[in-house]
Amino acid sequence: MQSIERAAAVLRLLAGGTGRLSLAQISRSLDLAKGTVHGILQTLRKVGFVEQDRASGHYQLGAAMLRLGTGYLDVNELRSRSINWADPLAARSGEAVRIGTVLDGQVLVVHHVFRPDDTFQTLDVGSLLPIHATALGKALLAYGASVPNRLDRFTSRTLVNHRDLAGALRDVREAGWSADIEEHTPGEASIAAPIRAYGGLVVGAIGISGHVERICDSRYRPRPPLVANVRDAARAVSRDLGAARR
Amino acid sequence: MTERYVVAIDQGTTSTRCIVFDRRGQLVSLAQQEHKQYYPRPGWVEHDAAEIWRNVERLGPEALRRAGATIDQVAAVGIANQRETTVLWDRVTGNPIGHAVVWQDTRTDTMVGALDDAPGADGVRHRSALPLATYFSGPRVRWMLDHHPGLRERAERGEVLFGTMETWLIWKLTGGLHVTDVTNASRTLLLDVHTLDWSPESLEFFGIPRAMLPEVRPSIGVFGTATAAFPGVRIGAALGDQQAALFGQTCFAPGEAKCTYGTGSFLLLNTGAELVRSTHGLLSTVAYQIKGEPAAYALEGSIAITGSLVQWFRDQLELIASAPEIETLARTVTDNGGCYIVPAFSGLYAPYWRSEARGVIVGLTSYITKGHLARAVLEASAWQTREVVDAMNADSGLALSTLRVDGGMTADNLLMQFIADVLDVPVVRPLAAETVSLGAAYGAGLAVGYWPDLEGLRRNWHRAAQWLPKMETQKRETEYGNWQRAVSRTFDWIQA
């Protein structure tokens, strides 16, 4: 695709230059129309790969470009941007909400909303969950996170076989959401869906968890209204993070 | 039956938001637009009221579109607004006269200094229950009348109208209704807080013609029906943003308090039907008034700079790329390294009210990293809260047992934990961080019968997060002592 090729050229030019370049300098250097280069720069700016100096209007490589290998969405930023949508999810589902991202092969809880029944609960932001045995983890694994070599067993229902897990992740991709039914804690179930940023990139997952008889129906399947609540919340956060509507 | 909603307009200092709420008090959709800040001179801050109205006109339909709702599904609209910001406009054309002068603006400094010693100042202070300060809108009106040739004569003839932001928006929404709510009116220095009407003596003191003032109405009760932005929808409530947050937190009973962490932070304690006059640097203010009922009052501790210190760290020092990253940076170290930042950027508000103070960073050594500075930034918000809580406990004679918090900074877990630590009480966030908007929605919904009563609203309140104090007493006392010494270093910096 020509536009990607041109974007790559703009980035190389900015990386190789001795500081900030103006729009005119970039378009001259690449022999491209100013309008074309401007469009490319605006898109690159939106995703953080390019920054524009406020005073001069000149362009340079963005901080996101320098951190390309290290995960680009700050976890505190993810919490801040999703807090408005996690609260309604807790209110509508009546269950506790957690948002997670991948950290060293596990799920890092970056946000936690109490189950709205005013009972005593403890914040577990910063704690780690097993990635293969939770709905949050499976939503992250289904869209690109790497599967750990060792799959520890927590209950009789934990998926400890790589082939079973791969099958389950295929189902997650097909359905667009994930669940864990007593796979991590007996009597507990959870539902999660991926949070996407620009370009559809999955940056986290949001989900609810609670007693299995509240989360699941009489056929031991997650209740469809709860699944819809989770998916709506994931879509709302994704939209705020710049993902296209899907 | 189709679902019905209530819409809140939150007209804030940096942006305007329209939020659609459902019957549970949960956010259904949100549309937001920042507006331009004008800084024509040091200490001057202005907004373009026409731009703000255009934003409301656009955001209203946008929020409904995002909710998938139509205008006939809206039961009522409520307004919460930045307080004390002063708008003047032409009654005939509806165009603003000059820019709105924003609450942070200190241009009236010299004038207020002179008025403070003038005969009659005690009467103004007594009737308004406020100190004479640049913070309030009355002196701004006087300043504008003094500095626009011919304006005073036109104001006397009723051709020029004054309003705070809710007055301006209601005027535009209804096509010409000139009213204010009692909470906003209580921030002008012109209101008599007992009669809840403009004080003729205070108006005379400031030289402000009665003809330019709006009619004072209860905060909760139908103001009128919108003809623009939300055509056909009743405007059910208008409250100053901090009073709206108190209402949104369902602090309906005396002794209940909340703190909203935004650009600045504001701790309000409901004192019920009784107006409590502070002897510790707090403000007395109207909390809300439901139509047909007596007003509820509040004690307020106002902190000028909290979230804006993080913004300064991001925009002026460029040490972080986004505000939430302050927590990431602060977590790179385990303590403040002995460094304290006192953000007295435009003097100190409660409980000191020192306009000549300016900010300091103390305890700098070559050991200090940007991580320590980030800690000191967050800790400054917590210590300022502690000072206000101490003043409130002294004034009310009661010890605060839990702090209800809201606002954008409640997403910062490190800050919330530190506040619990320095106050030594649990800090609780409700299941609705947007309590300013929620309060406006609650008021509007109550006015039109969408929600039946205050008890019904209370049932919507749930705990979403809680931080329990963990700091040892000895450490808390040492750190507080350090903070207070740092504060004393800010005094008397600006010399008259």
Task: Pick the more confident residue, B182 or A55.
Answer: B182
User: What are B114-171's pLDDT values in tens digits?
Assistant: 898 889 999 999 999 998 888 899 999 999 999 989 999 999 999 999 999 999 999 9
Angle at A134 between CA A133 and CA A135, to 5 degrees: 135
Say yes or no to pLDDT of B182 above 60: yes
Are the beta carbons of B324 and A79 separated by less than 8 Å?
yes
Highest mean pLDDT among A12-26, B270-284, B474-488: B474-488
Cβ-nearest to A74 among B322, B464, B466: B322
Residue showing tokens 């109490």: A114
Q: Which residues of B touch A235 (CB under 8 A)?
A: none
The predicted pLDDT at position A71 comes to: 56
Cross-strand pairs, B78: B8, B237
Chain B residue nearest residue A90, CA to CA: B431
Give the least confident one: A39-43, A161-165, A183-187, B384-388: A39-43
Q: How many CA atoms lie within 13 A of B390 on its CB side?
A: 13
Buried b (16+ CB within 10 A) or exposed e, B328-356: bbbeebeebbebbbbbbebbbbbbbbbbe
Interface confidence, given as ipTM, is 0.80
pLDDT at A246: 47
Beta-carbon neighbour count of residue B38 at 10 Å? 13
- CB-based contact, A74 to chain B, within 8 Å: yes
pLDDT: which is higher, B398 or B208: B208
Q: Name the minimum distance, in Å, from the CA of B178 to any CA of chain A.
A: 34
- Tokens 């864990």 identify what position? A180
**pLDDT at res. B243:** 96
Q: By the 8 A CB rule, do B80 and B437 touch?
A: yes
Q: Do A92 and B411 touch (CB under 8 A)?
A: no
Region A221-228: what's the mean pLDDT? 96
Q: What is the pLDDT of residue B113?
A: 86
Say whether residue B431 is in contact with chain A using an 8 A CB cutoff: yes
Binding site for glycerol: residue ranges of B? 83-84, 135, 241-242
Q: Residue A228 above 70 pLDDT?
A: yes
Which residues in chain A are contacts of B408 at CB distance < 8 A?
80
SS3 B12: coil
Instruction: Test A92 with B463 for CB contact under 8 angstroms.
Output: no
Of B325, B464, B466, the CB nearest to A76: B325
Contact B444, B78 (CB under 8 A): yes
The shortest C-alpha distance from B27 to chain A (Å) reads 6
d(C-alpha B32, C-alpha B17), whole Å: 4
pLDDT reading at B449 higher than 50: yes
For chain A, how big is the Rg over CA atoms in Å?
21
SS3 letters across chain A: CHHHHHHHHHHHHHHHCCCCECHHHHHHHHCCCHHHHHHHHHHHHHCCCEEECCCCCCEEECHHHHCHHHCCCCHHHHHHHHHHHHHHHHHHHCCEEEEEEEECCEEEEEEEECCCCCCCCCCCCCCEEECCCCHHHHHHHHCCCCCCCCCCCCCCCCCCCHHHHHHHHHHHHHHCCEEEECCCCCCEEEEEEEEECHHHCEEEEEEEEEEHHHHECCCCCECHHHHHHHHHHHHHHHHHCCCCCC
Given a cut of 90, whether residue A243 has pLDDT beyond it is: no
What residue of B is the nearest CA neighbor of A80? B411
B28: closest CA of chain A, how far (Å): 8
Partners of B406 in the β-ladder: B260
Q: Where do runs of H (alpha helix) occur along B316-434?
A: 325-330, 370-396, 413-423
Predicted confidence (pLDDT) at residue A221 exceeds the cutoff of 80? yes
Taking a C-beta distance cutoff of 8 angstroms, is the pair A14, A21 a contact? yes
Taking the domain B5-241, which CATH number applies? 3.30.420.40
Q: Which amino acid is at A2?
A: Q
Q: Which residue has the tokens 């409904």?
A: B64
pLDDT above 90: residue A172: yes
Tokens encoding A242: 């710049």
Task: Kindly report the nearest CA distance between residue B460 and chain A, in angstroms.
Answer: 9
Over residues B15-25, the mean pLDDT reads 92
Give me chain B's average pLDDT, please. 93
For a pLDDT cut of 90, what percent of chain B falls above it? 74
pLDDT of res. B274:
86
Residue A31 burial by CB count (10 A; 0-12/13-18/19+): exposed, middle or buried? exposed
Q: Nearest residue on chain B to A117, judged by CA atoms?
A: B462
Q: Which residues contact B223 (CB under 8 A, 6 or more apart)?
A: B170, B174, B177, B179, B217, B234, B235, B236, B237, B238
- Mean pLDDT, chain A, integer: 89
0.90 exceeded by pTM: no
Q: Which residue of B has its CA nearest to A48?
A: B321
pLDDT at A103 over 80: yes
Contact B384, B306 (CB under 8 A): yes
Domain spans in chain B, listed from the N-terminal domain onward: 5-241
Give the domains, in start order, of chain A with CATH numbers. 2-69 (1.10.10.10), 75-240 (3.30.450.40)
Optimal mutation site among B3, B29, B310, B322, interface A, most CBs of chain A within 10 A? B322
Selecting from B24, B411, B467 the residue whose C-beta is nearest the C-beta of A80 gives B411
What is the per-residue pLDDT for B133? 86
What dihedral do alpha carbons A119, A122, A128, A134 form, nearest 10°? 0
What the block records as the tokens of B392 is: 């409130």
Mean pLDDT, range B81-95, rounded to an integer: 95
